[in-house]
Structure 1
Amino acid sequence: MVLKTIFLTRHGFRANWFDEPAPLHPSGLEPPDTPLSAHGLLQAQELSHFLTPQQPHITRIYSSPWYRCIQTVEPLASALHVKIIPEPGLGEWYGLNRTDDPTPATAAELQNFYAGIEPDHQSLFVPAVTGESIEELYERGAYVLSRLIKQLDEDPSGPESVVLCTHAASLVAFSRVLAGDVPSDPSTQDIIAYTACVTRFERQSGVPVRVLPMPGAPHRSLQRDWLDERARGGRWRCVLNGYGGFLSSGRQRGWRFSGKESFDHKVQAHGLDAGTGLGVVLPDEGPQGNGVSQL
């Protein structure tokens, strides 16, 4: 087992959170979905400055294929000279009973906006457009993490540190799974999901990963068997929880689950984000340096 560190981050500030036009892409092309605002692009630069010197040295970057997530880790990928691996399993959560979820761009389409996209990645998991409950989001996180950790453990190049860029709900759910600590009330504010902040997990012990059956498979039942340490390759400890001390504007646009699993409104591809319908947006915090986990 060689993977030692997992960094999770949420995308930066979205353009449609500000009453201003989105910054134009140098190519002049229309972004495939809602991009970052000018402030979000600054957050991406600050995130890169923080993560670039981290040890163990980061050699893999996986991102949700939504454009705002790709933009968030572009500066980091450029600084580290690594490609961004678009992984649908890290994508947005849209709750239950939906058949019209927006879909992200393909790797080929994303290469029109950023050349450093890994085009040959075989997706670990593609979320169903029929929707997911919160419990099924945990299942998705457990499956994606088990496959990803196993792949990196077995990679002959020996990657020790990886960055995962995702969305608020996915970050909270994946972090709970990785910690092996899922509260009975999903609205519990344990994992901090502010824009462009960093949650860091360190591997405390390692065992061979037991990859779980794919969510939605006929033989799959929601038994929370991913709480078994073997499903995530051992014990992981959260040592930074939503750390934003490197962000000049501090921690912003935080999010937590509300307990709701269905929208009251239609979500357009370029419209409101999932968090406005399924979660609670938290107050902004000023520049701060506290990111020590209580998990």
Structure 2
Amino acid sequence: MLEVIYVVRHAFRANWTVNPITGEYNSTITSPTGIPTDPPLAAHGVEQSNELAKHLCSLDPPIDVVYSSPFYRCLQTLKPATDKLFSNGLAGSRIRIDTGLGEFYGRADFNHPTPPTVGVLSPFFNYLDYDYISVSAPTPNGETIQELHDRVGFTLNRIISALDEDPAQPKALLICTHAATMIAIGRMLTGNMPEDPDTDDFQCFTASLSKFTRQSSEAVGSWNCVINSETAFLSGGAERGWKFNGEESFIQLPHVVVEAKGARL
């Protein structure tokens, strides 16, 4: 069975704005995929990804398989590590893109931008698994916090169960995702869902690493968090921490433009 799950949040990214009434998104830097909510890493984020790569390549147990959110910033964060691991025939030599591990957007009367497909991402990243099919996906007009946790729990259950049955018998899984999703992963793996979702429990600093070890044969609900968003390997330490603060719903918000500065996304 799978024994260890490593979870990382993408590194420091560029920003965008959104009009919460119209759903119009604008990015400060043009995204390589053409999607406003899919910006690349900032220069500092690139530095973080290189520091993270050194740490990921030294993990014990070593990474056997890699899954990622479909957003460009996650794959860009993984690239220094996966280029090295895959070139040495390690970590499964492919990244499996799953929209079920993707970003959290609050409920809205409009549709949020759709994440890039593997076909859109392929000119920018090698080693993508073209045969893998995502377990689930967020609804286009966003989610409640409970729906996010349900989506993440369902996705993890299916991924872990499939890896348990994999003839290659992987022992260690690496997931790259986003702040809200990283918190939800911690809660779903451990089964420690607080009564108040705004509870500050699982951390999610940029380019940080969390580690979970298995305690039973159950796919989700009984894992132990042994590392909670480690950043000791980053020269800048812990940056851009985040926690839930209400539903983040776009419905019935005042007529203002919201700037996404990276505190979560």
Cα distance in 1 for partners of 2:255, 2:83 equals 36
Deviations 1:190-209 (A, max 9, x none): 111110101110012224x5
Partner of 2:232: 245
Cα distance in 1 for partners of 2:261, 2:189 equals 23
**Counterpart check, 1:95 vs 2:106:** yes
Residue type of the partner of 1:238? Answer: C
Residue type of the partner of 2:12? Answer: F
Cα distance in 2 for partners of 1:186, 1:136 equals 12
CA RMSD of aligned residues (A): 2.5
Aligned residues: 244
Partner of 1:133: 144
Structure-2-length-normalised TM-score = 0.84
With over 3 angstroms needed to count, the CA separation of the structure-2 counterparts of 1:206 and 1:109, relative to structure 1, is same
Cα distance in 2 for partners of 1:100, 1:272 equals 18
Partner of 2:215: 204
| Structure 1 residue 164: Cα displacement | 0.7
With over 3 angstroms needed to count, the CA separation of the structure-2 counterparts of 1:109 and 1:196, relative to structure 1, is same
Deviations 1:67-124 (A, max 9, x none): 0011011111112102221110011111123432111111011011012211111111
Give the SS at the match of 1:15: coil
Cα distance in 2 for partners of 1:138, 1:121 equals 23
With over 3 angstroms needed to count, the CA separation of the structure-2 counterparts of 1:86 and 1:265, relative to structure 1, is farther
Cα distance in 2 for partners of 1:156, 1:267 equals 53
Deviations 1:29-69 (A, max 9, x none): 66652110111111111111111121222021111101001
Preserved contact between residue 267 and residue 274 of structure 1 (Cα < 8 Å): no
Listed as ranges, the matches of 1:4-43 within 5 Å are: 4-16=3-15, 32=35, 33-43=38-48
From 160, 165, 174, the counterpart of 1:149:
160
Preserved contact between residue 137 and residue 170 of structure 1 (Cα < 8 Å): yes
**Counterpart check, 1:50 vs 2:55:** yes
Preserved contact between residue 33 and residue 72 of structure 2 (Cα < 8 Å): no
Deviations 1:191-241 (A, max 9, x none): 11110101110012224x5xxxxxxxxxxxxxxxxxxxxxx2x62100000
Cα distance in 1 for partners of 2:255, 2:33 equals 23
Using CA pairs below 8 Å that are at least 6 residues apart, which structure has the higher relative contact order? 2
Q: What 5-or-longer segments of structure 1 have no aligned partner?
A: 210-231, 282-295
Preserved contact between residue 89 and residue 144 of structure 1 (Cα < 8 Å): yes
Deviations 1:231-266 (A, max 9, x none): x2x621000001000001111011100023303479
| Structure 1 residue 275: Cα displacement | 6.4
Partner of 1:60: 65
Structure-1-length-normalised TM-score = 0.76
Partner of 1:173: 184
Partner of 2:24: none
Give the SS at the match of 1:191: coil
Deviations 1:155-185 (A, max 9, x none): 0001100111111111101111111001111
Cα distance in 1 for partners of 2:33, 2:56 equals 29
Cα distance in 2 for partners of 1:47, 1:31 equals 26
Cα distance in 1 for partners of 2:50, 2:34 equals 19
Q: What 5-or-longer segments of structure 2 have no aligned partner?
A: 17-27, 87-92
Preserved contact between residue 101 and residue 267 of structure 1 (Cα < 8 Å): no
Cα distance in 2 for partners of 1:98, 1:106 equals 24
Residue type of the partner of 2:126? Answer: A
Residue type of the partner of 2:238? Answer: R
Over the matched positions of the two proteins, sequence identity in percent amounts to 42
From 95, 98, 103, the counterpart of 1:84:
95
Preserved contact between residue 15 and residue 262 of structure 2 (Cα < 8 Å): no
With over 3 angstroms needed to count, the CA separation of the structure-2 counterparts of 1:74 and 1:201, relative to structure 1, is same
Preserved contact between residue 14 and residue 262 of structure 2 (Cα < 8 Å): no
Cα distance in 2 for partners of 1:274, 1:205 equals 39
With over 3 angstroms needed to count, the CA separation of the structure-2 counterparts of 1:30 and 1:181, relative to structure 1, is closer
